[in-house]
Chains A and B, each alone.
Chain A
Amino acid sequence: AQRVTQPEKLLSVFKGAPVELKCNYSYSGSPELFWYVQYSRQRLQLLLRHISRESIKGFTADLNKGETSFHLKKPFAQEEDSAMYYCALSNQAGTALIFGKGTTLSVSS
């Protein structure tokens, strides 16, 4: 079965510290992987997708097919990064996303 696992419910770091939000998936084919973010009182929005291979707000994520992982990283966390982060998988174009349970990132000064 297709599944997305985010092992951490909460990740607390200090401002300026590195951040890594973990995401593992189970899927036998070639999925598309995404990170969505929900800031306080805002709607869920796309942060980045693996095929874009770009850095958004300082965040990057590399798809590791061998380890079936898509961890989200940022070298220096900012307070405005505090939010709920969801890893999601799409098994083919046009299908719905399969979400993990989410990780709350809390960045304090």
Chain B
Amino acid sequence: EAGVAQSPRYKIIEKRQSVAFWCNPISGHATLYWYQQILGQGPKLLIQFQNNGVVDDSQLPKDRFSAERLKGVDSTLKIQPAKLEDSAVYLCASSLNLGLAGLQETQYFGPGTRLLVL
């Protein structure tokens, strides 16, 4: 099966500019996650979608970050305006569903988008 796709793979912008990332999950996967991975750290959740609804956005800096998954398939994450501390790898992951059997579904990760803010 095709994996999670992300674009672009790399992006360099100046602070205060805006940037958008795109993610296409594995076909049929209802749950989509955006993680931020700062150098030297593990991935940290930004936002989680179930179909086109938001499940958890408690750690999303909403003054500058936004995300949508309008048709319940692909998703975009936007940063406006970017700050130096936003330099990170942005990972998209998807899973089949919310773990209806009481067990966590396996999350499949995309290759990530590496953002550098100058």
Contact = CB atoms under 8 A, between A and B. Distances in A.
Contacts of A97: 43, 45, 104, 107
Chain B contact patch, size range: 20 to 34
B99 A93 contact: yes
Q: What size tier do the contact residues of chain A reach?
A: 20 to 34
Chain B interface, >50% SS class: loop
A43 B110 contact: yes
Contacts, number: 62
B29 to A, nearest CB: 13
Contact of B98 (A45, A88, A94, A100): A94
A94 B48 CA distance: 10
A73 B39 CA distance: 26
A101 B112 contact: no
Contacts of A11: none
A95 B42 contact: no
B2 interface: no
A1 interface: no
Interface string B1-21: 001100000000000000000
A99 interface: yes
B6 to A, nearest CB: 9
B48 A96 contact: yes
Interface in B32-49: 33, 35, 40-45, 48
Contacts of A98: 45
11 contacts: A32-B103, A43-B3, A86-B42, A93-B104, A94-B55, A94-B99, A95-B56, A97-B43, A97-B104, A97-B107, A101-B42
Interface of B: 3-4, 31, 33, 35, 40-45, 48, 50, 55-56, 91, 97-112
